[in-house]
Amino acid sequence: MSSLWLRKLALAGATLAPTSLAFSHYTQKPTQKSTALRAAPLKQCVGGTWVASSGAGTIDVEDPTTGALIGRVPEGTEADAHAALLAAKQAQPAWAKTAPAARGEALKAMARVIRANRVELAELLASEQAKVAGLAQVEIDFTAEYFDYYAGWARIYEAGEIISSDDPNEHIYLHKIPLGVSVGICPWNFPVFVMARKLAPALVTGNTCVVKTSEVTPLTCARITELWTESDDAALPPKGTYSVITGLGSTVGAALVSSPLVDIVSMTGSVATGKSIMKSAAEHMTKVSLELGGKAPAIVCADADLDLAVKGVLASRICFSGQVCNCCERVYVHESVKEAFLQKLVAAMEGVKVGAPADDGVDCCGLVSSAQFDKVKGMLDRAVAAGAKVECGGTPLTNVGYGFAPTVLTNVKQSDEIVQEEVFGPVLPVLTFKTMDEAFQLACDTKFGLTSSIYTTNVDIAERAKNELRFGETYVNRENFEAIQGFHAGMRQSGIGGADGKHGLEEYLASHVVYVRRDPSAGN
């Protein structure tokens, strides 16, 4: 997740969160229908038209905070996936011929629809995810801004260049053309924003797009799609240019990424899923752009502003209950300031308020599902059994869904699972280092390579970090939230390709080189 708004929210705390969300269904009995249940259509959006799924299966969606059923979507089938891809394939040539400025206006229209329904959408998002109300509203608002940002690229992205030829009577033209049909696979942690991340750069560059939502959190994406198709805004993308379908990764997702109709697959999710997609895409040599897991290190140097470091680490660890791939997952603190840093960090983590999305002053909620809760608890239990010391937290919270107390661990080893594998929950191991050489070596000792951070007042150390931290992104003296105009990309098993900014847009363009030789005698 990215944006200046999210950064401000993380730094300022939950007290700045919007308070206009009603969350009326939290007072209802589980048997009553909620706003979310009424919102999600039991159909698939194929090429901008709602059609019945070819299968009868459905997926129930629960509110992780209350356990109530709040929505139901089609389970989806291979036939649904194929129908969406056919619609995209048929619509793509005409969409590619549409003037880029008109494609940009279409993205602006998509943003307008989202803004017109921002509060309803934030309520729905918070309920299906157990996401703090303010953060849910930030995600909705920033999604609209993301469409507007890429709309601005419509008139300015480079559509090609002229290359000098050895022949004075020849020009070499390098054209940037749309790849064709794109597939976007979305995660459950920031489903709405990532849907925009898949749609906006693809559409503005003349591609058509099929999005598969997460089966865990599909409701808000389905509702946004419903609002787009119901709108009478003539500037919206035409029929066929986009589809948003629901289903399981093992069926719908697998059918999408293995199809010969697809020109690029962009997926945000786990390393295991990314590897599976690469294998499937290899059959047709389909391009992939994958943002996968992370195990972000934070280095706290001896000269660091410890209050700033604690603030940044805390923001990076409790945002959406630690279920954010680019946020801090492990800390290396210089041994000379370990005790002072640890005291401040534990106090800050103990002060985190965990509750329901609409609770006053809440900092984070429970985890998104029982499966995620079991994963986090299992990793913590194994760490403790291996000798880790629990400095704070370490226990489930029975008063708030799949709640888990923010936890700090010490007495862990670099080789421990809790240090090497992604937790994706509010658990933070803290280790020490003696020299900067050791700090950089420990930070890079990982199969992941998404993000990293360092806290120091020494510019020379910051410059070393720029060169020696082998990660897609490094944050100096700030929390781990990327910028819309940057390039969110990983190294090693954290992914291939990337998103955002100019370079994220170029993921959806192919090169077509044309050699034009003229007759020098012509025209005389």
d(Cα 342, Cα 332) in Å, to the nearest integer?
A: 11
d(Cα 304, Cα 207) in Å, to the nearest integer?
A: 46
421 assigned to active site: no
Count of Cβ atoms closer than 10 Å to residue 485 Cβ: 12
Q: For residues 224-242, b (16+ Cβ closer than 10 Å) or e, as one string? A: bbbbbbebeeeebbbebbb
Amino acid at 304: A
Q: For every residue of 217-247, which 3-state class applies, written as one string?
A: CCHHHHHHHHHHHHCCCCCCCCCCCEEEECC
Q: Which element (helix H / strand E) includes 212?
A: strand 208-212
Tokens of 119: 């509060």
Q: Which residues pair with 415 in a beta bridge?
A: none
Tokens of 103: 């494609």
Count of Cβ atoms closer than 10 Å to residue 102 Cβ: 13
Asked if 219 contacts 70 with a C-beta cutoff of 8 angstroms, the reply is yes
Pairing relation of β-strands 328-334 and 296-300? parallel
Mapped onto helix, strand or coil, the DSSP state of residue 331 is strand
Give me the catalytic one of 62, 291, 391, 422.
Answer: 291
Residues 6+ apart with CB under 8 A from 192: 121, 125, 139, 140, 143, 220, 221, 224
Q: Say which DSSP state 14 is in.
A: G
Where in the sequence numbering do the catalytic residues fall?
A: 291
